[in-house]
Amino acid sequence: MPTLTRTQRKKAAHLGVYAVLALLALLVALFADWPLLRLNFADGETWRALWPDIFLVAARNTLIYTVLAFTGGLALALVLALMKLSDVLGLRLIATAWIEFFRGLPALVVILFMALGVPLAFGWTPPGGTMGAGILALVFVSSAYMAETLRAGIQAVPHGQSEAARSLGMSSTWTFVSVVLPQAIRIVVPPLTNEVVLLLKDTSLLAIVGQQQSQLDLTSFGQNGLTTYSNPSPLLAIALVYLLITLPLTRLVAWLEARQKRAR
Amino acid sequence: MADTTPATRAIEVRNLHKCYGDNEVLKGIDFHVDAGQVVCVIGPSGSGKSTLLRCVNRLEEPTSGQVIIEGIDITDENTDLDAVRSRIGMVFQQFNLFPHMSVLRNLTIAQQRVKKRSKDEAVAIAKANLEKVGLLGKADAYPAHLSGGQQQRVAIARALSMNPDMMLFDEPTSALDPELVGDVLQVMKDLAAEGMTMMVVTHEMGFAREVGDKLVFMDGGVIVEEGDPRQVLGNPQHERTQAFLSKVL
């Protein structure tokens, strides 16, 4: 038997892997019931029936809910991060309690609380009814995660930066606004973009609160389609729309991170 | 004020103590810089020389004692610290330029925010100071695109743009490649020749000898020896000074 060089052995191993993969693909292709798959996942007639509401109503609503939850969550997160960095113990404790509470609960539980529990217990319904309550729940949950990200970003700005600003006579407020925060935001853009992706997927949990036809998000829309047409094709349709939105975002994060690494 | 501080005293430090927990890094410092003087502070690392400098504009909070800047006690609770700080220029070992701003913006932001100068006025002053340090051509560059020596000269120009009465230098050349030290020292020499009051924590004995009006040697949180730089460097009286100088000279 001829002895192989290391490179040749490596090549042979790769070939083996690909041979196994090809065999598996062949088995799937042979044994899968293609007409049945197409009927249930990609039924043309069902897909046509979803058009154009899948974009004009469902995707649009998902994006609106994401933007609302993100902007609200970010604003609240900034307040929480500042509270956590405050030298007033009481503020630090409140912020810590808030963050730990909302990070420790499943988002779905918080949504149910806000949409169903709070109106009963407090006799107060958040603006926008149960949908508003659900979005407010996402604001609370995302604020807890983003507060920690922002705090880390603010602390990652070298101390010498604020010392330089203070030594020039700038007040602590101006120092924070014009020197520390802009640098902190650059640091946290990639993790915050990731948070947008997570939040976008979490808007699917809003399906639980019961939406009117015009309020349907992608997931409820898909679920509705499933029952209306007695066919699961809408699920693949909404999955594709989700990916259409999330994949560019995750690529953006990768690009931002690579750029930041280069800048260092 | 009951104390008679001569009008010529730019910086006066009285019985200054600074502790970090149980660790006392300044053990009762009495020290002064007269207007127009260049005072260099030398000593081994951990001697407290940088801490002393940073207490002068209260970047470090003194534990006890007084720091009096041009007759104003800045350890007094009622002193407007920002106003005093805007009259004390500070240059750091790590430059600390604002990386998200152009060189010009680095020089104008505090002028506009603190001194309330108009944009045109601030830009004119900034450009004059950039010219002074030989970097007018870099006004639109960002700090990351400058060498360490250039960054430090920009940092000096930034401090000068506030028209300070005095300048503090915290080991300004220690983070620089050796070949870049000369340009920064030259800018500092020019500044001294113009009569700027300067307190310089440094390891550059040549600068201290050539430019300094007074040399202070610190060790273990106290001032061990001070006097004319040529005297102290050439004929140190205290044995700790002798031991230190024999290692660095």
- Return the pLDDT at A122: 85
Write down the ipTM of this complex: 0.92
Question: pLDDT, tens digit, for every residue of B175-190?
Answer: 999 999 999 999 999 9
CA distance linking residue A172 with residue A175, whole number of Å: 5
Measured over the CA atoms of residue A49, residue A55, residue A61 and residue A62, the dihedral's sign is: positive
**What is the Cα–Cα distance from B57 to B10, expressed in whole angstroms?**
12
Across chain B, the runs of DSSP E, i.e. the strands, are 9-20, 23-34, 38-42, 64-69, 72-73, 88-91, 166-170, 197-201, 214-219, 222-227
Q: What residues of A are in contact with residue B110 (Cβ under 8 Å)?
A: 165, 168-170
B238 secondary structure, DSSP code: S
Beta bridge partners of B32: B12
Kindly report the average pLDDT of chain A as a whole number: 90
What's the rounded Cα separation, in Å, for the pair B31 and A252? Answer: 56
So what's the pLDDT on residue A227?
Answer: 87
Tell me what the mean pLDDT of segment B116-124 comes to.
96
Q: Answer yes or no: do B144 and A163 touch at CB < 8 A.
A: no
Instruction: Flag whether residue B240 sits within 8 Å of chain A, measured between CB atoms.
Output: no
Closest CA to B159 of B104, B81, B93, B88: B88
Is A12 inside a domain boundary? no
In sequence order, the 6+-apart residues with CB closer than 8 A to the CB of A3 are: none
C-beta of residue B52 within 8 angstroms of C-beta of residue B20: no
A165 contacts on B by Cβ (under 8 Å): 98, 110
With helix as H, strand as E and coil as C, how does B47-92 read? CCHHHHHHHHCCCCCCCEEEEEECCEECCCCCCCHHHHHCCEEEEC
Helix axes A181-202, A60-85, angle to 10 degrees: 140
Cβ contacts below 8 Å, chain A against chain B, sum to: 58
pLDDT in tens, B195-214: 999 999 999 999 999 999 99
pLDDT at res. B54: 95
List CB contacts (< 8 A) between A168 and chain B. Answer: 85-86, 110, 114, 158-159, 162
Tokens of B177: 């490649």
Other Cβ atoms less than 10 A from the Cβ of A95: the count is 21
Whether A183 sits inside 8 A of B162 (CB atoms) is no
**Which residue of B lies nearest to A158 if distances are taken between CA atoms?**
B96
Residue A17, domain member (yes or no): no
Count of alpha carbons within 13 angstroms of residue A221, beta-carbon side: 29
Tens digit of each residue's pLDDT (9 = 90 or more) over A29-57: 888 888 888 888 888 788 888 888 888 88
* Residue B97 contacts A, CB cutoff 8 Å: yes
Q: Scanning every residue of chain B, which has its alpha carbon at the shortest distance from the alpha carbon of A175?
A: B110
Mutate to test the interface with A, among B61, B79, B88, B96 (most CBs of A within 10 A): B96
Both tokens assigned to B151: 């960054």
pLDDT exceeds cutoff 50 at B2: no
Of how many residues is chain B composed? 249
Q: Which of A158, A171, A179 minimises the CB distance to B82?
A: A171
* pLDDT value for A130: 87
C-alpha distance from A183 to closest chain B C-alpha (Å): 7
Which among A157, A159, A162, A168 is the top mutation candidate for probing chain B, defined by the most B β-carbons within 10 Å of its own β-carbon? A168
In a domain, A129, yes or no: yes
A100 located within any domain: yes
Nearest CA in chain A to B81: A169
Does position B4 have pLDDT exceeding 80, yes or no?
no
* A212: its two tokens: 């009117």
Residue A191 domain-assigned? yes
Q: Which residue of B has its CA nearest to A263?
A: B144
Strands B9-20 and B38-42: unpaired
Q: Inform me whether the pLDDT recorded for B25 exceeds 50.
A: yes
Q: What b/e readout covers A182-214, taking b as 16+ CB neighbours within 10 angstroms?
A: ebbbbbbbbbbbbbbbebbbbbbbbbbbebeee
Alpha carbon of B192: minimum distance to chain A alpha carbons (Å): 20
User: How far is residue A143 from each of residues A75, A100, B4, B63, measured CA to CA in Å?
Assistant: 8, 11, 56, 39
Asked if B70 and B165 count as a contact pair (C-beta separation under 8 A), the reply is yes
Asked if A169's CB is within 8 angstroms of B59's CB, the reply is no
pLDDT tens per residue across span A209-256: 878 888 889 998 888 888 888 888 889 989 999 999 999 998 988 888
Tokens of B156: 């000096």
Partner-chain contact B162 A169, CB within 8 Å: yes
Q: Look at A170 and B114 and tell me if their CB atoms are within 8 Å.
A: yes
Backbone angles phi, psi at A176, to 5 degrees: -65, -45
**Looking at residue B7, what is its pLDDT?**
55
Partner residue facing A170 (CB), from B88, B96, B110: B110
B159 touches chain A (CB under 8 A): yes
Q: In this predicted structure, what is the pLDDT of residue B6? A: 52
Total-model pTM = 0.83
- What pLDDT shows up at residue B162? 96
Query: A93 lies in which domain range?
Result: 41-263
Length of chain A: 264
Closest residue to A164, CB basis, from B87, B88, B96: B96
How many C-beta neighbours within 10 Å does residue B129 have?
A: 22
Contacts with B83 from chain A: Cβ below 8 Å: 169
Q: What is the mean pLDDT of chain B?
A: 93
Nearest to A160 among B87, B96, B144 (CB): B96
CATH number at residue A231: 1.10.3720.10
- Tell me, what amino acid is at B170? D
8 Å CB contact of B92 and A161: no
- With pLDDT > 90 as the criterion, what percentage of chain B qualifies? 92
C-alpha distance from B171 to closest chain A C-alpha (Å)? 14
Give the chain A residue nearest B60 (alpha carbons): A163
Q: Chain B closest CA to A68's CA: distance in Å?
A: 29
Residue B72 contacts A, CB cutoff 8 Å: no
Low-confidence ranges of chain A (pLDDT < 70): 1-2, 262-264
Q: How far apart are CA A59 and CA A204, in angstroms?
A: 11
Contact B93, A201 (CB under 8 A): no
Residue A158, preceding bond cis, omega within 30 degrees? Answer: no
| Distance from C-alpha of B128 to C-alpha of B157, rounded to nearest angstrom | 9
Query: How many degrees, rounded to 5, is the angle at CA B143 between CA B140 and CA B145?
Result: 85
pLDDT at B245: 92
Adjacent-strand bridge partners of B199: B39, B168
For residues A69 and A196, the answer to whether their CB atoms sit within 8 Å is no
DSSP secondary structure letter of residue B135: -
Domains in chain A, number: 1
How confident is residue B122, by pLDDT bands cut at 50, 70 and 90? Answer: very high
**Domain-embedded: residue A30:** no
B82 with A169: Cβ contact below 8 A: yes
pLDDT value, residue B1: 42
- Structure confidence at residue A264 (pLDDT): 53
Q: Is residue A151 part of a domain?
A: yes
Quick one: DSSP state of residue A123? Answer: S
> From CA B112, how far away is CA B104, in angstroms rounded?
12
CA distances from A96 to A82, A102, B164 (A): 11, 10, 42
Residue B96 · residue A164 · CB < 8 Å: yes
Q: Is residue A223 part of a domain?
A: yes
